[in-house]
Structure 1
Amino acid sequence: MDQKNICPRFEKALMILNHRWNTLLIYQLLDGPQRYSTIKNQLNISSRVLTERLKELETEQIVLRTVIPSTPVVIEYELTEKGYAIAPVLKAIEQWSSDWVTLNEK
């Protein structure tokens, strides 16, 4: 394998996932398509940040935005094939956190 091709891609992948809220957004959408308001309420995230992160993930082709013509207009977000491809990694992190991470509750 050519290291020159691996490192920049790995670095970009980590930058995408480490951008605040992105991984939690992807994890939230593993359950299937969801409306903006559902995502916002589940993650307790500001509207501005949620909009920015969804646009970023849409640009990266990780999230698909679908406008459903109705009154009022409904917008749903769902993972693309590329987005679902990260599921095994997130499930492994979920298992690791269950096994090893403790919460310091006060």
Structure 2
Amino acid sequence: MNYEGTLMLNKKCALEYTLDILEGKWTILILRDLASGVKRFGELRHSLYPISPKTLTDRLRMLEEQRIIMRTIYSEVPLHVEYELTARGRSLEPIFEAMKIWARSQDASLKG
């Protein structure tokens, strides 16, 4: 990442590019939760406990900047914000499925 938090496009390889987008412990778990549908901030925070609000906010902003997720603000009372995967975000789902298959092949007791 560069100093502005955006990806540099002159990466050495495609895997490095992908890993830059999916960086950090929480990023893939956020995407896992959003793969099941639209979520509010509080729902994500609850399902990802013990993630801090700052870390969740930072990851959501980064994913939004990368067009992996979309944030929708509803100005009704009370104000609320919802997050969902974009088509680009959904295109990552086969990667996550491959990761689950690999993990289960290493440890049959794993679920999910």
- In the superposition, the TM-score normalised over structure 2's length comes to 0.79
- Given candidates 10, 25, 32, the residue that maps to 1:20 is 25
- Given candidates 24, 27, 34, the residue that maps to 1:29 is 34
In the TM superposition, residue 32 of structure 1 has moved relative to its aligned partner by 0.9
In the TM superposition, residue 11 of structure 1 has moved relative to its aligned partner by 1.1
Runs of 4+ in structure 1 deviating by more than 4 angstroms, as ranges, are: none
1:78 is aligned to: 84
Structure 1: unaligned runs, 5 residues or longer = none
In the TM superposition, residue 19 of structure 1 has moved relative to its aligned partner by 2.3
Which protein is richer in helix relative to its size? 1
Describe the shift of the 1:71–1:80 C-alpha distance in structure 2 as closer, same or farther (beyond 3 A): same
Please give the alpha-carbon distance, in whole angstroms, between the structure 2 residues aligned to 1:54 and 1:15: 14
- In the superposition, the TM-score normalised over structure 1's length comes to 0.83
Q: Taking every aligned residue pair, what percent have the same amino acid on both sides? A: 32
| Root mean square deviation of aligned Cα | 1.8
What is the aligned residue count?
A: 99
